[in-house]
Every structure is written in C-alpha cells, then in structure tokens.
C-alpha cells in the first residue's frame, strides 16, 4: 500500500526542513548554511513516493510539495541570478511567524500606538522665585509665647531654583527649610518661628538669597503686635540732671494681664542706684496709685555718692504669673533703661566721648566743659586712659571765661575692638576738683 510510505516521506521532509532552518538561522548574513554547498549543487535523492502521489526530482530544494495543480519545480530551473549572494531566508514552519514578521504580544500596544510617558522636567533656562506673599502678619500675640508661620513660594522659572542663604535680621526669628533645591514648578515653604523679646509693634526682616533671575535677593517681612505680659511704665526712665552730692528718688509702676502676679525680684546694674517695692499700705498713700488694678510701685533711688557725670543702669524686674490661655504660672523678666547726668557747678555736653571707626583710622571728638553759674574757672590738667589706643591725647582750649573745649585725638589699632576709657580733668572749682568723662567706642575691620 502507498499511504504509509507517503506519510513517512512527509514526516521526513518536515524534519529535514526544520534542521535546515535551524542551521540557516545561526549563520551570519551573506554566508551559506553550513554543509549546504553551492547553491547549484543537487540535493540527495529522496525516496520516491508511490505512483500518483506526485514527484520531486533530485535538483529540487528540500521543501514540502505543493498540492496537486499548484505547479512544480524541476532540476531544469535556472540557478539564482546572484550565485555568490546568500540563499533566500527560509520560510517559517506551519504555525510560527516568519523571521521578518512583527509579533504583537497580547496585553501590549502595537508599535504604532505606543504611549510616551513624560520624564522629569529638564532645565532649559533661569530659575525664578515667586512668593505667595512677602509679608506675614502674626497680629496680636502674647509676649511670652512663640508664634509660627510660613511663607509659600514657587519656582516659576525653567531652571532649578537653589536657595543659597537665608539671613534674618534678628536672632528672635528662626528659619526652617525642608530642602534647598526646587525643580521648575515645584512649591516650597519657608517656616518661621518668632520669639518676641519685648512688647509693642514689631517688624523683622528676612533676606532670601537664591540663584533666581532677575531678582536673586527677596526681602520678607514678619510683623506682630506683641502684647506685654510684664508692663513697666515708663518704658525708659530719663532722670535728666540730678544734683551732685544729693539723693534722688523716683518710681515706676509694674503690672501684668494676670492681676494675681507677684514680683520675684528687682535689680539694677549700677551700684549707686537701688530699688524698693512699696507695700500695699504704702501704695494707698502713693499719689495716682490704683491698688485695685493689681499694679505694683517700685521706687528707684539714686544715692548721694553717685559720681559726677553720666549715669546709666538697667532696671530688671522678674515676676511670676499665669499668661493668657496658659494653665501654669511662669516666670518672666523684663528690663528698662535708666539714664541721666549728675552735675554740680560743672557740666559737660555731650556727657560721653563716643566713636565708631575703622582699623587704622584717626579721629577727633570734642566735649565742652562749662561752669553753670557763668563764673570763670581753670582746667589745670587733663589726662586720658584708653588701653586700646595708648597714643590717645587730650588737647585743651579755653573758648570762654566759663567754657573749655576738650578734644580727644586717637588712632585706631589694627584689630577690631570694643573700647572703653576715661578722661580725667583737674579743675580749680571747689568740690569738683576732679571730674571724669567716659569714653565708649567701637573699632571695625576696614571694608566692613
């Protein structure tokens, strides 16, 4: 029977074709398959099928026979027009795609429908910083509590924004920033913590320095109405001219939003100035005192032995009380300035030699020493003690019968310094034969 022979022949042809296809895929372009020989070489004769099953001569390629009537290829077919080139690529076996056929994987878009996912923005120009607002209003806040706020900004440029530095104008303002580089379109927050150092309307400034164009420095403003927890009235005690050799008394009032507050201590920084808190009974006799308000009266006393000339001191008051919205009592200190002049027959204007110079700079400062009665007097000698400027000198000149001009001349040294000194003057005025004039100054490094 011919049917089994035909089946065996077809299976053999398929296996041979698969081997040839595998070998052909491993060759480099332009090389014939290994062992294939010349394109014109005849192939091994195949077993002949039975009669009526079709025929294939020895000169045909090892391919399955087309169905009857589809035509045949014989040994008389002419060789390829390019015998030196590579043989034609094999066709794919049944059920597999051809080598040059595009395969679409299920679940993935075809090449003509690929989706482009945008990447991160690319720097293409300058950065620009835009603040939502450059002013932050805290409004009314307690003196004894910190306030927190935030400035929002956006990089509205096309390049990376770099925060190079942040400079607050006061140590009472703390700054926090999550990072210092922001991509185009990115939003940031500059957080501010304001810790008040005293009552009243306050404005603080923050300089933000960046690589932004055209404005690399932006000035931010923090403002607040700080409500005092400890109120000393007046806020500065100016004593004016106090008679030399006599005791002098004045007073200040101390109050708080907490009427139940107590005073822990009252101190001064000048040994010639003392204080005393009046008792409730004394306050009832004190002119203008309101005991029902909870305020206290502190008496300030300048002793009779206070030295001639300028007078200065800090008055520091410490209280204990409960702040607004607070649950526990706290301790809080506040202070004010006390200043004046202690003069007898002689007086000076101004009351202190003051200067601010750069390193290596020479300067002059003048003071007028006057006899207040208009009587004539003499300056016998004057000397200067200024340790930071040992070459300093005093020049004397009598400009009127009762007026002398005292000129301080000096040259700053090579180093920055805070300077203090004294000019001592000998006169013929009874009781004021020796008077001293203070010197206070600052030497800054050149170029600053």
The model's confidence at residue 121, banded by pLDDT at 50, 70 and 90, is low
Dump pLDDT digits (tens) for 146-177: 999 999 999 999 999 999 999 999 999 999 99
Predicted local confidence at residue 8, as pLDDT: 44
Give residue 284's pLDDT: 83
Dihedrals phi, psi of 235, to nearest 5 degrees: -75, -20
Kindly state the average pLDDT of the residues 199-209: 94
Work out the mean pLDDT of the chain and round it to a whole number.
Answer: 81
Which residues on neighbouring strands pair with residue 182, listed in sequence order?
A: 161
User: Cα(207)–Cα(218) distance, rounded to whole angstroms?
Assistant: 6
More confident call, 245 vs 94: 245
pTM value is 0.62
Q: What is the pLDDT of residues 414-442, one digit of tens each?
A: 999 999 999 999 999 999 999 999 999 99
Does the N-terminal peptide bond of residue 214 adopt cis geometry, omega within 30 degrees of 0?
Answer: yes
Assess contact for 204 and 169: CB atoms under 8 A. Answer: yes
Angstrom distance (rounded) from CA 273 to CA 307: 11
- Is residue 201 within 8 A of residue 219, CB to CB? The reply is no
Q: pLDDT value at position 94?
A: 58
CB atoms inside a 10 Å sphere around CB 323: 19
Contact indicator for 311, 270 with CB cutoff of 8 Å = yes
Provide the 8-state DSSP code for 77.
Answer: S
- The reported pLDDT for the residue numbered 446 is 77
Region 305-324: what's the mean pLDDT? 95
Interatomic CA distance for residues 430 and 188, integer angstroms: 72
CA distances from residue 377 to 332, 427, 436 in whole angstroms, order as listed:
51, 7, 17
Enclosing H/E stretch for 13 = helix 3-25
Q: All domains of the chain, ordered by start, with CATH?
A: 1-113 (no CATH), 129-227 (2.60.40.10), 231-343 (2.60.40.10), 346-444 (2.60.40.10)
- When mean pLDDT is compared across 46-60, 139-153, 369-383, 389-403, the lowest value belongs to 46-60
Residue 268 token pair:
């001064």
For the stretch 52-92, pLDDT in tens is: 444 443 333 434 444 444 444 443 444 444 444 444 445 55
N-to-C CA span, the chain: 116
So what's the pLDDT on residue 366?
A: 97
Per-residue pLDDT at 112: 58
What pLDDT is attached to residue 286?
Answer: 80
> Pseudo-torsion of CA 136, 139, 143, 144, nearest 10°?
-80
Q: Is the pLDDT of residue 244 over 70?
A: yes
168: which 2 tokens?
């607050």
For position 15, what pLDDT does the model report? 57
DSSP state of 158: S
């Amino acid at each position: 029977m011919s049917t089994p022979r035909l089946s065996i022949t077809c299976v053999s042809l398929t296996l041979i074709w698969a081997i040839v296809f595998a070998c052909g895929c491993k060759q480099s372009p332009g090389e014939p398959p290994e062992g294939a020989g010349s394109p014109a070489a005849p192939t091994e004769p195949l077993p002949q099928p039975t009669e009526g099953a079709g025929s294939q001569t020895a000169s045909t390629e090892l391919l399955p026979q087309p169905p009857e009537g589809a035509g045949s290829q014989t040994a008389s077919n002419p060789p390829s027009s390019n015998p030196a080139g590579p043989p034609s690529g094999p066709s794919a076996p049944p059920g597999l795609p051809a080598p040059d056929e595009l395969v679409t994987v299920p679940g993935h878009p075809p090449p003509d429908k690929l989706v482009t996912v945008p990447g991160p923005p690319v720097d293409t120009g300058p950065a620009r910083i835009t603040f939502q607002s450059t002013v932050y209003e805290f409004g009314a806040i307690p003196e004894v509590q910190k306030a927190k706020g935030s400035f929002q900004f956006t990089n509205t440029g096309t390049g990376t924004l770099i925060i190079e530095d942040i400079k607050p104008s006061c140590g009472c303002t703390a700054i926090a920033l999550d990072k210092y580089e922001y991509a185009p379109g990115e939003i940031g927050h500059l957080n501010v913590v304001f810790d008040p150092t005293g009552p009243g309307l306050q404005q603080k400034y923050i300089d933000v320095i960046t690589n932004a164009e055209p404005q690399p420095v932006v000035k931010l403003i923090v403002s607040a109405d700080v409500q005092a927890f400890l109120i000393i009235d007046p806020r500065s005690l100016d004593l004016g001219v106090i008679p030399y050799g006599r005791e002098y008394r004045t007073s200040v009032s101390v109050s708080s939003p907490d009427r139940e507050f107590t005073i822990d201590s009252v101190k001064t920084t000048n040994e010639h100035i003392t204080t005393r808190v009046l008792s409730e009974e004394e306050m009832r006799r004190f002119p203008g005192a309101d005991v029902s308000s909870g305020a206290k009266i502190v008496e300030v006393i300048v002793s009779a032995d206070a030295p001639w000339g300028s007078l200065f001191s800090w008055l520091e008051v410490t209280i204990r009380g409960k702040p607004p919205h607070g649950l526990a009592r706290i301790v809080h200190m506040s202070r004010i300035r006390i200043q004046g002049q202690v003069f007898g027959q002689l007086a000076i204007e101004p009351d202190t030699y003051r200067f601010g110079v750069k390193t290596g700079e020479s300067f002059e400062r003048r003071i007028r020493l006057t006899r207040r009665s208009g009587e004539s007097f003499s300056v016998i000698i004057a000397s200067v003690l200024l340790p930071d400027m040992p070459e300093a000198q005093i020049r004397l000149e009598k400009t009127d019968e009762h007026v002398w001009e005292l000129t301080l001349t000096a040259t700053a040294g090579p180093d920055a310094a805070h300077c203090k000194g004294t000019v001592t003057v000998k006169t013929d005025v009874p009781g004021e034969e020796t008077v001293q004039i203070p010197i206070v100054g600052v030497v800054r490094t050149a170029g600053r």
